Amino acid sequence: MTKHAARPAIRRRNRTLMVAAPLVALALWSWGIDAAQAAEPGKDAPAAGLPRILVLATGGTIAGQADARATGAYKSGQITGEQLMASVPGLDKLAKLNAEQISSIGSQDMNDKVWFALARRIQDAFDKNEADGILITHGTDTLEETAFFLDNVVRGDKPVVIVGSMRPATAVSADGPGNLYEAVQVAADPRSRGRGVMAVLNDKIQSARSITKTNTTSIETFSSPNDGPIGYVDTAGGIRFMTQAGGSKRATYQLPAGEQLPRVEIVYSHANMDAVPIEDAISHGAKGIVLAGVGDGNTSKQALDALEAAAKKGIIVVRSTRVRSGFVTRNVEVDDDKNGFVVSEDLNPQKARVLTQLLIAGGVTAPAELQKAFTATW
């Protein structure tokens, strides 16, 4: 065959590949969702004796689907927990999974109502022995706050694992399926008992107290700046915990009777800081103010004077820092004893806010008692 005669055949083969490639990609892209939608309750039930894991879905990027408005755009919380579980091969070999939908929101919209629903459902499942472990699917933006909140209100030593992803379920290289598989591994493992609430993402197991998000888009976004991961997990090597379970049991706090925690505001310190943000928080009914201070939790003289005045009115003032790592220390740069302030230790502002809310809700308002509670979390 001459070169000229071969050209039509080559062009036909290229056209076939150009058509086939998108079809294959589309099939792979939609496989997980279609499989999940086709799954029937009770079908292909796992073998007896596997641990029972209750999956509580809240939405987030991990349940997101592509949006045509821009490359890489997506809508959070579009896929149900059942669909997510059904789309990851092999989960039925790890545990008996039962999924419930608590909410379908991006975690930027996480709120007290969802937090209370999660806490009550988890506690009920443990009290009635409905599950051997809990898995929560969640957006990454406020994942650390939800994990820390639950760590402070859920009683019992059974595993509670929270998982998310940085890319939506329909992304070309979604990180959700791998994170889900590893999160189920951890939730189903008896060595996970007595470790409090844990977050599992990107092959790392991290404690609710220490984990924080550090990058806007990278899958390597979560870290524990002051003490590192408590373990590692992968589909081949299994689970390797770096710390012992148990130890001293931290306090757990009762949920308020209603559906809302007390109002506590975070005030961010910066150059040329004045008293306006503090006065604004007070005017809107804040029961507590957490300072995201510069350096060792410090701020300008104007702002400190306003915070001291707030503390004298009975408003709780907690000094934290906008710096990523380190501890805020008492009475070094600021006279905390004189001003009636509390320091957050190494809790970042968002977690210091959660603990302050729980303490105020429980009637703990004296600075000395508040400081004991913050120190006891370490």
CA-nearest of 67, 240, 58, 89 to 165 is 58
* DSSP summary character for residue 166: S
- DSSP H helical ranges for the chain: 3-38, 81-86, 112-127, 143-153, 176-188, 276-283, 301-312, 336-339, 349-361, 367-376
CA-nearest of 141, 135, 150, 24 to 88 is 135
Rounded Cα distance, 232 and 223, in Å: 12
* Residues acting as catalytic residues: 61
Rounded Cα distance, 180 and 88, in Å: 8
Token pair for residue 255? 């949920």
DSSP SS3 for 336: helix
Rounded Cα distance, 48 and 262, in Å: 45
The answer to whether residues 159 and 133 touch, using CB atoms and an 8 Å cutoff, is: yes
Rounded Cα distance, 165 and 180, in Å: 9
The contacts of residue 53 (CB under 8 Å, 6+ apart) are 95, 96, 97, 98, 131, 132, 133, 134, 135, 184, 187, 188
* DSSP summary character for residue 207: E
